[in-house]
Amino acid sequence: MASNHEQQSSHGSYHEKGQTAVAVLDERRRAALAEIDNAPFSWFHVKVCLVAGVGFFTDAYDIFAINIAATMLGFVYGHTSNQLSTNQSLGIKVATPVGNLVGQVLFGWLADILGRKRMYGVELMIMIIATFGQALAGEAPAINILAVIIVWRFIMGVGIGGDYPLSAIISSEFAATRSRGRLMTAVFAAQGWGQFSAALVGIIVVEAYKDSILSSPFPCYVPVDHAWRLVIGLGCVPGVIALYFRLTIPETPRFTMDIERNIAQATTDIENVLTTGKSVLDEDAPIQRVKAPKATRVDFRAYFSQWKNLKVLIGTAYSWFALDIAFYGLGLNSSIILTAINFGSPTALKSTSLYVYENLYNICVGNLILSVAGLIPGYWVTFLFIDSWGRKPIQLMGFTVLTILFIIMGFGYDALNNTPSSRKAFVFLYCLTNFFQNFGPNTTTFIVPGEAFPTRYRSTAHGISAASGKLGAVVAQVGFSQLVNIGGTNKFIKHIMEIFALFMLTGIFSTILIPETKQRSLEDISNEEQEGYVQGV
């Protein structure tokens, strides 16, 4: 019979072997992560950027096309006044942000549970179907067409909302540390081109229908009805193109490693993905799950009950909330603001078909100018500086400059609205706010939550931050529509600008809570000890 001493030593050596195996796996995990973090920029990174970017292009097109379509809908369905009532306009504009809010929280959570790949593409299908549904909406004795459009825009919003956490997380988890900010900015910057395209398509459609509009009796129901359906419906096209690529993108190695806890598969994925852009699944390979921190309610509470982690979530969520109050308050109402200051107002008589044509054409051109002059350059200036200057300084600078701009536009509104040349100064300031929203918090509030949390909560936390931004958009939209006409048509706009200034000021303080994430690995930013992360097999 083996002596007690021999049994103990064999047990000891077994325990040591187990510990060695765990240490090896822990080392393999860190080596695999280092491989992604230090990977040279490749064609695969470009593909991720394009596939995620097309989604954002579609999102922005669908969200902001309503600026142009709402005016068209007014001519067709705004029965007596030829414009939508305050509540109709509010319903159509607020439905999408409300849907976004639901989609961001829901898809953010699902992507952490079921996987990034499994959910990627689902949200795009929802967007495509809902956009198509809006374009085909009809009226019947028991059905109000505006209500149908509102329902479809809400469903579309859920799909768009899902795109935020998924695109952010997929691009951040595949990116190398030194270029992660630029890759995520490039994805997000597709928004600017989406807004630009909505205005451009608007101009093309209005020009295409010019003769039919001018030859129809006022308010030109038939051609304008055709026009808005085309403007909205064409939002399907980029989504359909991107769908195949979304459904075939590989799972991120970080999800496989830290949530499925399958280090062997993640290691082979990294080698394959970075060379061929595809992941190969060996059906017969034994699956070895490791013991590592797992997403549970208890663990979620334990992680976020630490102030160092909670303050980051508060910082990312509130900064996004404050920013979106102004970003959507302006973005979805640019036509109203341009009309209020008589910029590019139609010269024709109000009850002629020429007036309809001029009005629609001017609104499209106005939106085009705003996106070219402010939005698009802002994204690309951020792209240049995000990885050298850093996220936090850009966000602080953006909020500070926006506070000053809104104070000038609010308190100087009457003076800026006096003469044609001062109106141009107002439009210039308005373009500057668009520029500093994008070269500033609009881009950084998207990037930081995609980096600042551990893999098992990254998508959920990004979803929560994005949803609080959309809550800001809803508040802004409801507030704008209820306040704008206090004291007379569009009389309250100057005070709305002053309110925006206050929110920009609070954004400066919430920015102080977030960490600087440039040139740091995602694991380092997550505030979790990486040595000994794998605790067993």
Q: How confident is the model at residue 287 (pLDDT cuts 50, 70, 90)?
A: low
pLDDT mean over 71-96: 84
CA angle 263, 267, 42 (to 5 degrees): 145
Structural contact between residues 360 and 207, judged by C-beta atoms closer than 8 angstroms = no
Which DSSP string corresponds to 224-244?
Answer: HHHHHHHHHHTTHHHHHHHHH
Residues 6 or more apart from 466 whose CB is under 8 A from it?
A: 100, 104, 108, 161, 164, 165, 320, 446, 449
DSSP state of 439: T
* The predicted structure's pLDDT at residue 277: 63
User: What one-character-per-residue DSSP string does 66-120 give?
Assistant: HHHHHHHHHHHH-TTTTS--HHHHHHHHHHHHHHHHHHHHHHHHHHHHT-HHHHT
| pLDDT at residue 449 in the model | 94
Cα–Cα separations (whole angstroms), residue 203 to 110, 221, 336 = 39, 18, 18
CATH number of the domain to which 147 belongs: 1.20.1250.20
String of DSSP letters for 180-238: HHHHHHHHHHHHHHHHHHHHHHHHHHHHHTHHHHHHSPTT-HHHHHHHHHHHHHTTHHH
Confidence of residue 420 (pLDDT cuts 50, 70, 90): confident
Find the helix packing angle between 236-247 and 122-135, rounded to 10°. 160
Is the confidence at residue 6, as pLDDT, over 60? Answer: no
CA distance 93 to 84: 11
* pLDDT attached to residue 288: 63
- Across 104-120, average pLDDT: 91
Whether the predicted pLDDT of 191 surpasses 60:
yes
The DSSP element (H or E) to which 276 belongs, if any, is helix 263-276
pLDDT in tens, 134-164: 999 888 889 888 999 999 999 999 999 999 9
Q: For residue 291, list its beta bridge partners.
A: 536
Average pLDDT of the chain? 86
Domain-located, residue 478: yes
3-state secondary structure 149-166: HHHHHHHHHHHHHHHHHH
Give the number of domains in the chain: 1
Higher pLDDT, 17 or 178: 178
Q: Please tell me which residue, 346 or 234, carries the higher pLDDT value.
A: 234
Give the residue from 279, 243, 245 showing the smallest Cα distance to 260.
279
* Position 285 in a domain: no
**Close Cβ partners of 341 (under 8 Å, ≥ 6 residues apart):** 416, 417, 423, 426, 427
22 domain residue, yes or no: no
Structural contact between residues 521 and 30, judged by C-beta atoms closer than 8 angstroms: no
pLDDT at 102 over 80: yes
How does pLDDT run across 439-461, given as a tens digit for each residue?
A: 999 999 999 999 999 988 999 99
Tell whether 186 is covered by a domain: yes
Contact 319, 514 (CB under 8 A): yes
Let me know if residue 534 belongs to a domain.
Answer: no
Closest residue by Cα to residue 199 from 364, 332, 356, 70: 364
Decide if 175 is inside a domain: yes
Range of the domain at 479: 40-280+294-517
What is the CA 531 to chain-centroid distance, rounded?
34
Contact between 353 and 224 under an 8 Å Cβ cutoff? The reply is: no
Establish if 410 belongs to a structural domain. Answer: yes
Cα 469 from chain centroid (whole Å) = 9
Residue 367 lies in a domain: yes
pLDDT in tens, 25-50: 888 888 888 888 998 888 889 989 99
Amino acid at the residue 114: L
